[in-house]
Amino acid sequence: MRFCGETGEWPPFNFLERKEGVKTTNSLGYDIDMVKAILSKHQIDYQIIILPWKRCLSDALKGKVHVVFSASTNPQRDKDYLLTTTYYSVQPMLVFATQTPTPIQDKQPA
Distance CA 21, CA 65 (A): 30
More confident residue, 2 or 109: 2
Is the alpha carbon torsion for 55, 81, 75, 94 positive or negative?
negative
CATH of the domain at 86: 3.40.190.10
The domain tally of the chain equals 1
9 Cβ neighbours under 8 A, 6+ residues apart: 15, 16
Residue-wise pLDDT for 50-97, tens only, equals: 999 999 999 999 999 999 998 889 999 999 999 999 888 888 888 777
What would the mean pLDDT of 5-10 be, rounded to a whole number? 89
Task: Work out the pLDDT band at 102, boundaries 50, 70, 90.
Answer: low
- Domain with 18, as residue range(s), is 2-106
